[in-house]
Structures are given as C-alpha cells and as structure tokens.
Homo-oligomer: A and B are copies of this chain.
Amino acid sequence: VAALQGAISNIDPRLARVGQVIGPDRVVITGSEMETYLRDWSGDGRGQALAVLRPATVGEVQACVRVCAETGLGIVPQGGNTGLVSGTVAEDGRDIVVLSLSRLNRIRAVDSANLTIDADAGCTLQAIKDASEAAGCIFPLALGAQGSCQIGGNVATNAGGINVLRYGMARDLVLGVEVVLPDGRLWNGMSGLRKDNRGYDLKQLFIGSEGTLGIVTGVGLKLFPRPENIETAYVGAASFEAAMSLLAVARRACSDMITAFEVMGSECLAMARLVDPAVVPPVGQNTPVHIIFELSSSRLIDARLLIETVLSEALASGVAIDAVVAQSQAHARAFWAIREDLVEGQARRGYHVRTDVSVRLGDVPGFIAAARKYIETQWPAWISQAYGHAGDGNVHFNVLPPENLAESEARRLGADVTAGLYDIVRAFGGSISAEHGIGRSRRDVFWAGLEPVQRNMLAAIKSAIDPQGLMNPGCLIPLAKEKT
C-alpha cells in the first residue's frame, strides 16, 4: 500500500490525497490499465488523464470530488464509456482525472406496485432491464450498447435508442436522481413519485448535461408492465415518403402500441452483409426502403391481428409494397439482426462519417434526399447510408469513405463532408444531435450555431452549479467560454 501510495504521489501529489480516502488500489495510474478509460466507442480519439479513480460507494465519490474541488483537479465522470461523441475523452489531461462509476453497481430496489426501480449509476442498462423483468416489468430503454453502457451514463447523456417512439428518451423515464455536486455535497433527488411539482425540476438539469454539472450516482426509473404480445414485421416501401405515410397510418391505427419503427435505405444491406454474407432480407433486397415495425401489447389485445390488419391496409393502399410478420421469436431476431449488423458492418469498414440528426417527421424524406444528392454531387466516391429511428424523425445519415482512402485523409475530408451535411440539417431546422449528445466532437459546431442568448444561459447555468468549471471540462461547453 505504501509503495502504491508513493507511486501515486509521484504522478501528482493531489492524487495522493485521493488515494488516502479511497485507497491507493482504487487510483489507476498504469498506462495499460488506464487505456480502456481513455477511448470511447467512437474510437475518434484518445484522451488524457492523470489517473482513473474507482470509488466503490457514494461516500467515496463525494470524497474524491471534495479533494478535486479543493485541489483544482478536473473530473471526467465515466460510466460504460460507450459514448460516440468523445464526452469522456479529455483533450488535456494535465489537471484531469477520470472518475469511473463502475463499482457502484447495486440494484437498490424494485417496487413493482409503484412500477419503479432505484439503482446505482454504475449498473449496466442490461442489469436494470434484467432486474425489471424479474419483477414482471420492463425498463424500455433499448440501445446497441446496453450490455456495457451504464444507467448513470444513459441518464447523464439522455440516451435514446429504438423504443423512444413509445416510451421516450432516458429523460422521460427518470423519476429521480442522486447527484454528487461539484463541491462534493450530495443531492438526494430520489422520490419515486410519479407527479411532483415542487419548484424547479432540478433533476432535469443533470439529465443530458453530460457530466458537466455533477456526477449522477443513483437513479430512480419508471417501469412498465411487461407486454405479453410482441409482433414484429419487416416491411418494404417504395420510398421514405411511403415509409413515413406507413408510420402515420400505423400510429393512428395502433394507439400507442408501436414500440419501434426503424427504417433503412437498401444501400445499408451491403453493410449487413459484411457481417453476415448470407443475409437475405425478408423483402426484395432492392426494395428502396426496409422497415422494422414492432408492436407490443398486453395479453387481451390481439397484436397479431392488429399488425396484420395494418399491413394489409398498407399493402392495399400502396403505402407498403411487401411485408412479412415474424412467425417466431427467432424470426423476429433475424429481422433485428439485419439492423444490428448494418451498424457493425459500418464499424468494420473503419472510419466513416457518422451523424445523428433529427428533423420534423414530415421532413425525413426531404432531408434524406437532400443529403444523398449532396453526397452524390459533391463527394461522388463516398457512399451514403441512411437509416434510423424514423418514428422520432431521427436519421443516422452516415457516409463511407472510398475504400482505398487512407484513414487520416478520410478523417480530414470527413470533417468537410460532415460540415456540408450539417448545413443541410440547419436548412431543415433540424438538430445535429438527436440522441448522441454533444461531447467534445460536436462541441465547436454546436457552440458556433447557438444564438448569444442560448450561450449566455448555458454558461450561466454552468457557472451557477459548477463555478470552478471542474466537471467534465471541455465537454459540451468550450473551455474558454465557461466563465463568460
């Protein structure tokens, strides 16, 4: 212990104080051990930090934060590190530590009468989902990283995913948060109440603030009764216009039981085939738009009849040109595998332009058409990939560089490709971040696009809650702007 403590002290005497309060074995300083904490899933850059702190309790988190506040160490709070916008990847590590919540991984309580779950921030999303299912309920947040991402990170970044259409973003699923504030004080904002109109809704500040206002250490979440019937259809449509018409018809016909409405341009199938060369989509693979459409219901509702009726009407009216309803869970999983494989396939291609755009529902086809035309005319050797959560107006319009292009050159040009896409987003009044957040990789374009009044409000809130600017410095708000 003394040797460890000495090694820590050699790196930075401030770390020695942290080691004294949480134990030197919880202060990670060796390069190989630190490496996984310094890159997020995007692989877009490697961060810097003096050390990684791994407290095991809320009290230890407070103790770490107090030392940092007293000694001027910046803190990058980190959950599963599955973000895509470098929100956990500090640019300058001289006065920075990463604080990992991984050891805070206890399910605190499941209350099936209240339809709530309380948990430590470091529980994986999958652990939350499993504990909910064990109580006959569901926690509906669902996204690719759910086995690794942590619920505190989901809340801090207001995560989205495939079930937002029915259940909302993480924000909509949070009833309470417990937060260690930048001075080390604990705010217990956990009530389990479904309605509570007492003053400013402080939890909203922390949800989606990407760790820049405090460290979420605990969350209270809404659960829902587990649907007994799930029906999944794979539908082909002639265009994104037709796909959005199907969505409108389906929403009107199915009350609020549509749990997912994912669209994929046919060009995405090639990416799925990189992962599974044998993949054959359930509808003709040249069908311009592929749709995965899922309904969930209680046992008293015949979800199969409902989805078949909706699809029959859609085929009769020409809104859909082909449709297959999954006949088994395995069949449904095969549909979803195509959606998952296309993401994995893009990753295997290496660097690519990745966007996370939202526009008004009626603008989804127009945005995709404009973006495709831009790539075809301005970047003819690059390949568009249009897919996403169409039910929310959220399009992941990605662009693959030419295969023979060196990565460094692709990244350099990719920045220009992205800038052009963001111009199109702006022209549609859309958002450059529907669900992934701002982090560091979108920070400058975000900040440049703000009206002064918005910048002032963001900076005022940051200063009000984190006057020293020690919480996730450089994330979301430019470093030099924090104090203005």
Q: Give the docked Cα–Cα distance between A158 and B197 (Å).
A: 7
Set of chain B residues within 8 Å of A111, measured between Cβ atoms: 360, 362
Assess whether A202 is interfacial by the CB under 8 Å rule.
Answer: yes
Contact (Cβ within 8 A) A453 B181: yes
When distances are taken between beta carbons in the complex, the residues of chain B under 8 Å from A434 are: 193, 195-197
**How far does the alpha carbon of A195 sit from the alpha carbon of B115 in the complex, in Å?**
25
Instruction: Number of A interface residues at 8 Å Cβ cutoff, please give it.
Output: 89
A379 touches B (CB below 8 Å): no
Name 8 extra pairs, CB < 8 A, besides A158-B197, A171-B201, A197-B208.
A169-B197, A181-B453, A193-B360, A196-B431, A201-B208, A225-B252, A255-B255, A461-B461
- The chain A residues found within 8 Å of chain B, CB to CB, are 111, 113-116, 157-158, 160, 164, 166, 168-169, 171-172, 181, 185-188, 191-202, 204-205, 207-209, 224-225, 227, 244, 248, 251-257, 296-301, 306, 309-310, 358-362, 389, 392-394, 429-438, 446, 451, 453-454, 457-458, 460-461, 463-465, 476-477
Report yes or no: B358 in contact with A392, Cβ–Cβ below 8 A.
no
Query: CA A182 – CA B471 in complex, angstroms?
Result: 28
| Complex Cα spacing A197 to B300, Å | 36
Q: Does B195 lie within 8 Å of A453, measured CB to CB?
A: no
On whether the beta carbons of B187 and A453 are closer than 8 Å, the reply is: yes
Residue contact A457 to B465, C-beta cutoff 8 Å: yes
For A297, list chain B residues within 8 Å (CB).
255
Given contacts A197-B158, A392-B194, contact A460 B465 (CB under 8 A): yes
Contacts of A169 in B (CB 8 A): 195, 197
**With A301-B306, A310-B300 as given contacts, are A196 and B433 in contact (CB-CB < 8 Å)?**
yes
B residues less than 8 Å from A394 (CB atoms): 194-195
Residues of chain B within 8 A (CB-CB) of A309 are: 300
- Residues in B neighbouring A115, C-beta threshold 8 A: 251, 361
Specify which chain B residues have a CB less than 8 angstroms from the CB of A438 in the assembled complex. Answer: 197-199
Min CB–CB distance A431 → chain B (angstroms) = 4
Tell me the complex Cα distance, A463–B171, Å: 25
A435 smallest CB distance to B (angstroms): 5
Query: Do B298 and A194 have beta carbons less than 8 Å apart?
Result: no
Contacts of A198 in B (CB 8 A): 431-433, 438, 446
